[in-house]
Structure 1
Amino acid sequence: MAMDAPGFVFLCCSTICPCFRSRRKDTEEAVLVKEPSSIHSAPSTEMNSVSGKVPASPLRVPPSPGRFSMSPKLDRIGSVHLTMKQVARATQNFSPSLRIGEGGFGTVYKAQLQDGKTVAIKRASKENFDALRSEFRSEIELLAKIEHRNLVKLLGYVDKGNERLIITEYVPNGTLREHLDGIHGSCLDFSQRLEISIDIAHGLTYLHSYAEKQIIHRDVKSTNILLTDRMKAKVSDFGFARVGGNETGNTHVLTKVKGTVGYLDPEYMRTYKLTPKSDVYSFGVLLIEILTGRRPVESRRSPEEKVTIRWAFDKYNNGEMKDLVDPQLKGAVDEKIFKKMLNLSFQCAAPTRADRPEMQSVGEQLWAIRMKYINRVSFMVPIVAEYKCRMHMVQELDACS
C-alpha cells in the first residue's frame, strides 16, 4: 500500500478551533485542503489562523521502553489493605452511583478510603464467581509483576468468602471511548489522539517484551483504556490476560476464545492459537477507532458500513480518505500524517499474524509519525497565518472598490 499521498493539509482542532462540547448531527466535518507550495497557490477554502508553533507534547514518551524498575514480587503487593467492612464503607455498600465501569471480570467502583485516598475497586461478578476463580488469581499475579506508567497499578486485593475484589489506582478522566463519544464535554484533538496511541503502544510493548514474563492482554479495546487528567493513557483490565514465555513466536493453544467482538484476532478465533500478535490486531482496530471515532462494529449502519475496519479499508482504497476523519475533528488534520497512521493500523490488523509488526515496532513508528506531525504543523503555522492575512487584505480592497 503506497505511503505517499498528495500534499493535503488539514490542521487539527488543537491548533485552530475549540473542540465541540458534544457529538451532534450537525457537527462540521474536517475539511480537506491542498497544502500550498506558496502563498499564491493557496486554495480559496477558508482556513483559521494559528499563532505560534506547536510545542512538544507534555506527554512525551521514548520511542521504545528503556530500563524499567524490577517488577514487585507477589508477597509485596498491597499498599492498600482493606477488610470487607472497610470496602463496603468506601463504596457505600457498592452503590450504583459509584459504579464507573464494567468488564469481563466484574463491576468497577470508585471508592474513597478513610485517609482520603481515592481508588478503584473491581468486584467479581456473582453469577460468574466460580468461572472467575482462575481469572482472579491470574489478574492478581499479572498485576503484581508489572510496573509501567501506561498500565493501571495494582494497590491491593481481597479474597474472602464469596467476595473477590481487586483494588487499583483510580484513573479520574474516564475511558477513551467516553472521550471519543464526547461524554466528558470536549472532543479529543488530533494531537491528543496521537499521544494516546503512543501511550497504549508503549504499555503493550512493556507487557509483550519487558515484563518478567511475557503477558498477552487479550482484551485491548477503547473501554479498557483509561485517561488521566493530563490525558495520559493507561491500559486496564487484565482479567483475560495470559502469561507466556519470552521466546519469540510463543503460542498458547486455548480451548476457549476470549475477548471482545470487533477487536478479536481472526486467526486466533480460527485456530485458538494466541500470540502477542493478537494484541497487535486489536490495537490496529483500536487505532482505526481513534482516527474515525467509530466503534469496531456499528450495528445500526448499513451492511457495508457495519464492520468499521472493512468500511475504512474500502474508503481508503477508493481514495475517499476524508470520509474516515472523525466528524468531531472540526477543522482538519494533516492528510499525510493521517494516512501514515491509517497505513499502520491496517498493517496491525492484517488477517494473518505473520504480516503484523511487533508491538515495539508499532510504538516506534508512531513516535516517528509524531515527530513528522510536529514538524509539518510548525512549518504550516506561519504559512496559514500569512494566507489569512492576505485574504483579509483582498477582502478589504474588494470592499473599497
Structure 2
Amino acid sequence: MLVFILLVVLLQPLNTLSLNQEGRFLQQAKLGLSDPTESLSSWDPRDDTPCNWQGITCDSVTHRVTSLDLSNSQLAGPFPISLCRLPSLSSLSLSNNNINSSLPNDISTCQNLTELYLSDNLFVGPIPDNLTQLSNLRVLNLAGNNFSGNIPASFGAFRRLETLTLSGNLLGGEIPPSLGNISSLKKLELGYNTFSTHMPNQLGNLSNLEDLWLSNADLVGPIPASLGLLGRLVNLDLSLNGLTGPIPGSLTELDSVVQIELYNNSLSGELPSNMSRMTNLRRFDASMNELSGTIPTELCGLPLESLNLFENRLQGTIPEAITRSPNLYELKLFNNKLSGEIPSELGKNSGLQWLDLSYNEFKGEIPKGLCEKGKLEDLILIYNSFSGSIPENLGDCQSLSRVRLRDNKLSGSVPEKFWGLPHVYLLELSDNLFTGGISPMISGAHNLSILLISKNQFNGSIPDEIGTLSNLLEFSGNGNELGGSIPETMVNLRQLNKLDLSHNELSGGIPLRIQGWQNLNELSLANNSLSGDIPDAIGSLPVLNYLDLSTNYFSGEIPIELQNLKLNLLNLSNNKLSGEIPPLYAKEIYRKSFMGNPGLCGDIPGLCPETGQSKHQGHLWIIGSIFIFAGVVFVVGVAWFYFAYQNFDKKTKKGIAISKWRSFHKIGFSEYDIVDCLKEENVIGSGASGKVYKVVLGNGELVAVKKLGGDTGKDYASVHPDRDEFEAEVETLGKIRHKNIVRLWSCCKTGDCKLLVYEYMPNGSLGDLLHSSKGGLLDWPTRYKIALDAAEGLSYLHHDCVPAIVHRDVKSNNILLDGEFNARVADFGVAKIVQGAGKGAESMSVIAGSCGYIAPEYAYTLRVNEKSDIYSFGVVILELVTGRLPVDPEFGEKDLVKWVYSTLDQKDIDHVIDPKLDSSYKDVIYRVLGIGLLCTSALPINRPSMRKVVILLQEVGAENKSNSVKKDGELSPYFHEDDASSQRSVME
C-alpha cells in the first residue's frame, strides 16, 4: 500500500508536465490575463493537448493549434504575446474584450497569421509599423479602440490584405497615399476617426475594392475623381464629413455600386448627368448638402430602392421617369425648392413605403396611386401648395402609419375611411381648407396618438367615438367651426396630455368626470360658447400647467381646487364668473387672468373700471384725507428706512447682498424669503457645482434652491472652463415651458453667490431612488412612465427648441421625480445650444458628462450633438430595466452597456432584468430593453432620434402584451439577440 501511494505522488508531477508545448504557451498567455467570467476555465494544465479547450481549433491531422477565438470573454490585461509562439496559428480573435495595452512590435513574430481581429478593446498608442511583416495577413481589424497617431505609411506594402478596418479610433494626420498600393484590398473602413485631411487620389488604384467606408472622419476638400475607377465598388459611404465641391461626374462610371452615401457634407453644384450608367444603384443619399439644380431624369429610371436628397437647394420638378423605378420604396426630397406637380404614376409601379416631399413648392393634387401596392407607411407633404381633396382610395391604405399634410391648400371633406385607418398614429391635417365633419369611423383608428386638425373649416359635432381612442395623446382642433358639446366619452382618454379646441363654436359645459385626465398638460377651450360651472375636478389634474377658458359663458364661482395646480398660464377672462377669487390667484400679477368678469371686481384692485359715482366718492375721500395721509407717509417712511437699513446691514454681514433678482413664472415670493433659509440643516444635496437647499416659504409652499459659488463653484469652473453653469441654467430653463423639464422659478445673482430657485421635487432623483433601499417603490409601470416622461422632455429640447439644445449630462441623477413620480429633466449647467440638430457636431473644449453615460464618440472626439444625449438616455433605460448602476465593480472594467451586451451574447436575457420587477411585464420590458440598446448603438448614426424614441416608447405602452413579442425570448422588432454583437461593434 505504501508503495502504491509513493507511485501516485511520484507520477503526479509527470501528469502536469504531460501538456504539450503549445498548451504551455497558451497557459502562459492565460496567466497574463484577468478572467473575471472564467471563460478560460476549460484550459486545464493536466490535459495532454489544448485542442478541446474553449476557443481552440486544431488541425485534424497535425493536432496543432490553427485558430484561437476568445472574443466576447471580458478578458483584461496586456496583449498575450506568447500566442505568437504557436507555429501554425493562422486566425486570432480577441475582439470585444478589455485588452488595455499598446500593441507590441513583437506581434510581427506571428508569422503565419492570416486573420487578426482585435476590435473593441482598449488598445492605446500607435499602430506598429512592422505589421506588414505578417506577409500572409488577409484580414486586419483594429476598430473600436484608442489607437492614436497616423496610419503607418508602411501599410502600402501589404500584398495579400483584403480587409483593413481601423474605424472608431483616435487616428489623425493624413490617409497614406500608399494605401492605394494594396491591390488585393476589398474592404477599407476608416470612418469615425479625426484625420482632418483630404482623400488621397491614390485610393482610385484599389481596383478590387468593394466597400469604402469613410464616414465621420473629418475629411475635407473635394471627392477625388479617381474614385470613378473603382469598378467593383458596391458600397461608398463618405457621409458626415466636410467635403466640398461638386459630386464628380466620374462616379457615374461605378456600374457595380449599390449604395452611395454622401449626406451631411458641404457638397455643391448639380447632380452629375449620366447617372443612368449606375444600373445597380438602389440607394442614393446626398441629403444635407448645398446642391442645386434639378434631379436628372435618368436617375429616376434606375432600379432605386431609396432616394434621399433633402436639405439641399434642388429646384425644378420631379421627372415623370421616376415612376419607372420598380424598386423605389423610399423617396425623400424634403427641404429643397422643387416645384410643379407630383407625377401621377408615382407609386403605381413600385411598393412605395416612405414619401417625404415636405418644405418644397409643389402644387396640384395628391396622386391617387401612391398606395397602389398597399405598402405606403409614411405620407409627408407638409409646407407645400397642394390643392384638391385627399384621394378617396387612400382611405383603403391600411398600411399608413404617419400622415402629415399640414400647411397646404387642400380642401373638401376628408374621406370617411381615412379617419379610421387602423395603424395611423399621427394624423396631421392642420392649416388647410378642409370642410365637413370628423367621421364616427375614427373609432377604427386604434393606434392614433396625435390628431392635429386645427385651422381648417371642419364643422359639425365631435363624435362620441373619439372617446374610444385609448392611445390619444394630443387633440388639436382649434380654429375650426366645430359645434355641439364636448362629448362625455372624452373623459375616457386617459393618456391625453394636450386638448386644444379653442376658437370653435362649442356649447354646453365641460364634462364633469375629467379627473381621469391625469396626464393632461394643456387644456385650451377659449373662444367658444361654453357655459355652466368650471368643474372642481380640474384642480385634481396633477400635471396641468396651461389652462385657458377665456371668452366663453362660464358662470358661478372659481373652484378653490385650482390652487392645487402649478400653472404657467391661467386665463379665465371674459366669462360670467362671480364670487371670490382663490387666494393664491387674488394678486395683481393675475389681474389679466380674470378681466371681463363683472362678478369678480372686488378681489383685485383695478380689475374692473369704476363707475362715475364711485369715482366721485373716491375723490371726496382722497381730498378729505390727503393731509392725514401725508403725515402717515412721513412717519412710516422714517420707520421703514430705519428697519430697511438694519435688514440690509444684517444681510450684508451675512455676505449675501441681493443685487439682481429675476423671475420666469408668476411667483408669490421674493429673494428675501429665500436667503434666510439657506442653512446647513436645510441642505438636501450637494455636488461639483454647489449645494441644494429645501426651502419652506411663508405660505407653506416648497422650493429647491441651488447655491453656486464659493469653493464648490471654483471646483466646477475648473472642471468645466468652457461653461458658466449659472448662465447656462438661466439661458436654457428661463425660456423653457414643458411638463417634463424642471421649472426654474427665479434666479438671483450676487457678487460672490448665485441662486437658482426650482420647483421642489419630493421624490428626489431617479438615480438616488432606483439604487437605494426604496427602489422597490418603482414598479414597472412607474419605471416605464418615467422613461417616457424623460424622453418627451429631451425630445422637446432636441426638436421643439429653436435653436436645439443638447443637455450633455443626461443621467438618472438628473431626472427628478415629483410626488406622483412624474419625471422632469434637470440640471442644465453644461447644456449646449446647437445650430440645427443633426447638422454635424460641435467640438467642445472638455468632456462634459458622467462616467458610464458618455457616448463613445464624444469621449474620443469631444464632438457633441443630440446623438450624445440619446446614448446617455439609453443608459438610463438600461438602468430602469436592470436596476443596476451604470458603473459597478461587478462589471470589472466594463460599464452597464457592455455588461448587458455580453450577457445577451450568452443568451441569458432574464439575467439582465431587475429581479424586483413583476415577471408578468416581461414582454413589455423586453421591448423597452430593445429601445435602450438602439439608443446605445456604438455608431451615432444607428441611434434613433429622441422624437423616434418617444414614438417607440408610446407604441410599447399602447400595444397589447400578446403583441409585444413574437415569441418568448425575442426582444422586439427593433432588436434581436443576433444583433447584439453588431450593435456593439463600431464596424465589424
Q: Do Structure 1 and Structure 2 share a fold, with TM-score over 0.5?
A: yes
Distance (whole Å) between structure 1 residues aligned to residue 769 and residue 713 of structure 2: 31
Q: What is the Cα-based RMSD across aligned positions, in Å? A: 3.2
Q: Give the letter for the 1:99 counterpart.
A: V
Distance (whole Å) between structure 2 residues aligned to residue 112 and residue 268 of structure 1: 40
Q: Give the letter for the 1:120 counterpart.
A: A
Give structure 2 stretches of 5+ with no counterpart. Answer: 1-470, 472-491, 499-518, 525-544, 547-567, 570-660, 965-988
8 Å CA contact 1:213–1:245 kept in 2: the answer is: yes
Residue 182 of structure 1: how far off its partner (Å): 4.5
**Residue 906 of structure 2 is aligned to residue 321 of structure 1:** no
Residue 375 of structure 1: how far off its partner (Å): 6.7
**Could you say if the C-alpha distance between residues 245 and 103 of structure 1 is closer, same or farther in structure 2, counting changes exceeding 3 Å?**
farther
Structure-2 residue corresponding to 1:29: none
Query: Which of these residues, 837, 843, 853, is aligned with residue 263 of structure 1?
Result: 853
8 Å CA contact 1:59–1:195 kept in 2: the answer is: no
8 Å CA contact 1:187–1:328 kept in 2: the answer is: no
**Residue 796 of structure 2 is aligned to residue 197 of structure 1:** no
Query: Which of these residues, 929, 936, 943, is aligned with residue 349 of structure 1?
Result: 936
Give the TM-score of the pair, scaled to structure 1.
0.71
Structure-2 residue corresponding to 1:369: 956
Q: Give the letter for the 2:892 counterpart.
A: P
Distance (whole Å) between structure 2 residues aligned to residue 164 and residue 78 of structure 1: 18
Query: Which of these residues, 138, 142, 157, is aligned with residue 747 of structure 2?
Result: 157
Query: Which of these residues, 670, 677, 681, is aligned with residue 90 of structure 1?
Result: 677
**Residue 737 of structure 2 is aligned to residue 147 of structure 1:** yes
8 Å CA contact 2:762–2:818 kept in 1: the answer is: yes
8 Å CA contact 1:59–1:232 kept in 2: the answer is: no
**What are the equivalent positions in structure 2 for 1:129-278 lying under 5 Å apart?**
129=713, 131=717, 134-184=724-774, 186-278=776-868
**Could you say if the C-alpha distance between residues 318 and 124 of structure 1 is closer, same or farther in structure 2, counting changes exceeding 3 Å?**
same
Give the TM-score of the pair, scaled to structure 2.
0.30
Distance (whole Å) between structure 1 residues aligned to residue 961 and residue 952 of structure 2: 14
Query: Which of these residues, 700, 713, 726, is aligned with residue 116 of structure 1?
Result: 700
Distance (whole Å) between structure 2 residues aligned to residue 57 and residue 171 of structure 1: 27
Q: Deviations over 1:36-87 (max 9, x none)?
A: xxxxxxxxxxxxxxxxxxx999676589x99998x99x9762544643x543
**What are the equivalent positions in structure 2 for 1:383-394 lying under 5 Å apart?**
none
Distance (whole Å) between structure 2 residues aligned to residue 302 and residue 268 of structure 1: 22
**Could you say if the C-alpha distance between residues 141 and 256 of structure 1 is closer, same or farther in structure 2, counting changes exceeding 3 Å?**
same
Secondary structure, aligned partner of 2:872: helix
Distance (whole Å) between structure 2 residues aligned to residue 125 and residue 260 of structure 1: 21
Distance (whole Å) between structure 2 residues aligned to residue 373 and residue 111 of structure 1: 44
Aligned length: 314
Higher strand proportion (structure 1 or 2):
2
**Could you say if the C-alpha distance between residues 61 and 190 of structure 1 is closer, same or farther in structure 2, counting changes exceeding 3 Å?**
farther
Secondary structure, aligned partner of 1:152: coil
**What are the equivalent positions in structure 2 for 1:303-322 lying under 5 Å apart?**
303=892, 306-322=894-910
Residue 207 of structure 1: how far off its partner (Å): 0.6
8 Å CA contact 1:61–1:199 kept in 2: the answer is: no
Residue 89 of structure 1: how far off its partner (Å): 1.9
**Could you say if the C-alpha distance between residues 224 and 147 of structure 1 is closer, same or farther in structure 2, counting changes exceeding 3 Å?**
same
Q: Give the letter for the 2:908 counterpart.
A: E
Structure-2 residue corresponding to 1:106: 690
Q: Give the letter for the 2:903 counterpart.
A: K
Distance (whole Å) between structure 2 residues aligned to residue 171 and residue 58 of structure 1: 24
Secondary structure, aligned partner of 1:243: strand
**Identical pairs, percent:** 31
Q: Deviations over 1:213-240 (max 9, x none)?
A: 2111111111111111211111111111
Secondary structure, aligned partner of 1:167: strand
Structure-1 residue corresponding to 2:882: 292
Distance (whole Å) between structure 2 residues aligned to residue 322 and residue 290 of structure 1: 14
Query: Which of these residues, 871, 887, 903, is aligned with residue 281 of structure 1?
Result: 871
8 Å CA contact 1:145–1:211 kept in 2: the answer is: no
**Residue 937 of structure 2 is aligned to residue 358 of structure 1:** no
**Could you say if the C-alpha distance between residues 375 and 228 of structure 1 is closer, same or farther in structure 2, counting changes exceeding 3 Å?**
farther
Structure-2 residue corresponding to 1:387: none
Q: Give the letter for the 1:316 counterpart.
A: L
**Could you say if the C-alpha distance between residues 314 and 108 of structure 1 is closer, same or farther in structure 2, counting changes exceeding 3 Å?**
same
Highest RCO, 1 vs 2 (Cα 8 Å, sep ≥ 6): 1
Distance (whole Å) between structure 2 residues aligned to residue 250 and residue 238 of structure 1: 22
Give structure 1 stretches of 5+ with no counterpart. Answer: 1-54, 378-401
8 Å CA contact 2:798–2:837 kept in 1: the answer is: no
Tell which structure's C-alpha radius of gyration is larger: 2
Distance (whole Å) between structure 2 residues aligned to residue 173 and residue 59 of structure 1: 23
Secondary structure, aligned partner of 2:915: coil
Q: Give the letter for the 1:279 counterpart.
A: D
Distance (whole Å) between structure 1 residues aligned to residue 496 and residue 881 of structure 2: 20
Higher helix proportion (structure 1 or 2):
1
**Could you say if the C-alpha distance between residues 267 and 173 of structure 1 is closer, same or farther in structure 2, counting changes exceeding 3 Å?**
same
8 Å CA contact 1:82–1:158 kept in 2: the answer is: no
**Could you say if the C-alpha distance between residues 107 and 201 of structure 1 is closer, same or farther in structure 2, counting changes exceeding 3 Å?**
same
**Could you say if the C-alpha distance between residues 375 and 111 of structure 1 is closer, same or farther in structure 2, counting changes exceeding 3 Å?**
farther
Secondary structure, aligned partner of 2:869: helix
Distance (whole Å) between structure 1 residues aligned to residue 857 and residue 494 of structure 2: 38
**Could you say if the C-alpha distance between residues 159 and 274 of structure 1 is closer, same or farther in structure 2, counting changes exceeding 3 Å?**
same
8 Å CA contact 1:150–1:235 kept in 2: the answer is: yes
Distance (whole Å) between structure 1 residues aligned to residue 817 and residue 960 of structure 2: 22
